[in-house]
Chain A
Amino acid sequence: MTPPRPALDLSLLPDGGVRWLDASGPNSDIVISTRMRLARNVSGYAFTGRARDGERLRMLAQVRDALGAVPSLSGSLLVRLEELATVDRQLLHERHLVSKELAGLDPQHPIRSGAAVFLGESVGLLVNEEDHLRLQSLRSGFAVPQAFESVHRLDQELGSQVPFAFHREFGFLTACPTNAGTGLRASVLIHLPGLVLTKEIGKVLSGLQQMGLTYRGLYGEGSEVVGNFFQLSNQTTLGRSEEELQDLLVRVVRHVIEREEEARRVLVRDAGYIIEDKLWRAYGTLRYARSLTFDEAMNYLSGVRLAVGLKLITGLSVYTLNKLLIFAQSAHLAHLEQRTLTESETNLARAKYVRQVLVSEGGGVE
């Protein structure tokens, strides 16, 4: 079966939109990426969920007309999601460039007219998601100030062209009251295998909830935690300034990183050979398996990532492991094979792809 129109060409994006995977940022052995999101709505329009198709399209047109005066998005790639095949929308979602809702992958929210994303160097602008506009930036590693700076600049530039809905008491107005105020969701994608293996994770997660942070799985709200990857973000958006929300995230995450490092030291000290055996088995499975489900791949990748962090396995880069995290997902594999795949074909393709990457890196040799 061929897609209804030419497949999405992500080579048009600088770095294919995955520069944030390159492990160049601070603490990138533990923190994969930092993401900042600002929810904004344009005055004079019903929110996306209540708007009619015509209103959504005029909203999009108004934003597009204003973009000439927004340097942060100059030369950006506009993707009209409604015009893409499902597999291409899923690809963008797997790359963390659009939300599940905007990609129309949620059965409760089919793709809507006017769903679009503008992708720039380090920022993106989602149009007609739950809110009219979701401004986001994604950075490698634990880079809160840098990520905020990019999204803040985009906010200032765009907000001087398009009138945002703002209330003197409630701040920026959003379709869901959980996002009102600053509209800021500051989050990190963090890998915590040490805390999971030492069974400390429960305590840490409940502790961070007390601090006003919340956690999710790899793909945001409602998604499951796989491969020991957690997304930590601020729970509230109102009543604290943007600076306070960033500070909160930085302080708590710094603390979590220290706990993770401590847990890793304990593991090596108290259970050295058991851990070593477990991690080499994970590597062996990835290196030789003929079929891998997504969850299996994530869990073994988590083990190998930990082994690289502990310097048990050398010659494999964190960048490669980060890329596997993204490129071993089903829409990416379908693109690679240039055809739609059944579930079992996907598992075969995944194992083949992982093997090839590991062989070409030549890692794991003692």
Chain B
Amino acid sequence: MICDNCKERDAVVNLTRIVDNAVTQLHLCEKCAAEKGVETTVAVAQHPLGDILQAVQQQASTTSEDAAACSFCGATARDFRATGRLGCPHCYDAMEKSLRELLRRLHGSSRHVGQRYDAPVTHVATPKPDSIHDLRDRLQRAVDTEQFELAAELRDRIKVIE
């Protein structure tokens, strides 16, 4: 079968889509599929976790963000590979490039098109995440995971508050 898009190469991906209540089959070659952001392995994935770890492993050799630690929680790309979990919301910025690639592999897209959200301005009454207790916990974690640069910074911030 010939690719529906370029009509040149052999189709290797059968994409089943539902558009306006109708089921359509799209046959694509590997190149066109990649351009459309279709990851050929996604459709057969049964256990998302096995899949994600595999995808992360594949990336291991290509990423240059490996050594960089998240400036908030101290997690590294290595930690992510070991657990399949990110350390905190800031990790998405710290590992942005490789995560964008991974999200594309997992979801077929890395762009959120759903509901938008604006966080409320936090009230003074609620415990602030930057409380002295939180800073101490973060410091302890930074020391435990040998993120000494982050630890030094947190120590300074705690000193200012005390």
Interface residues of A (CB under 8 A from B): 41-47, 49-52, 54-55, 58, 61-62, 65-66, 130, 159-173, 175-178, 180-182, 184, 207, 209-212, 214, 221-222, 235-242, 247-248, 251-252
Contacts and interface: CB of A to CB of B under 8 A. Distances in A.
Contacts of B133: 54, 58
A164 B83 CA distance: 23
Interface of B: 14, 16, 18, 21, 42-49, 52, 72-73, 75, 83-89, 92-93, 99-100, 102-103, 106-120, 122, 125-131, 133-134, 136-138, 140-141
Nearest to A211: B16
A247 B20 CA distance: 10
B123 to A, nearest CB: 8
Contacts of A239: 107-113
Nearest to A172: B117
Contacts of A182: 112, 114-115
Contact of A167 (B45, B48, B112, B118): B112
A332 to B, nearest CB: 28
Among B83, B114, B129, residue most surrounded by chain A Cβ atoms (within 10 Å) = B114
Contacts of A235: 42, 45, 48
The 4 closest A-B pairs by CB, nearest first: A239-B109, A44-B129, A171-B112, A165-B89
Nearest to A184: B114
Instruction: Tell me whether chain A's interface is mostly helix, strand or loop, or mixed.
Output: loop
A66 B136 CA distance: 24
Among B43, B44, B113, B127, residue most surrounded by chain A Cβ atoms (within 10 Å) = B113
Given A180-B112, A239-B110, 9 more contacts: A51-B137, A176-B86, A180-B103, A182-B115, A210-B43, A238-B103, A238-B106, A240-B109, A241-B115
B49 A50 contact: no
Contacts of B75: 50
Given A54-B137, A65-B126, A238-B107, A178 B49 contact: yes
B48 A170 contact: no
Nearest to B25: A210
Among A160, A170, A212, residue most surrounded by chain B Cβ atoms (within 10 Å) = A170
Given A50-B75, A211-B18, A176 B52 contact: yes
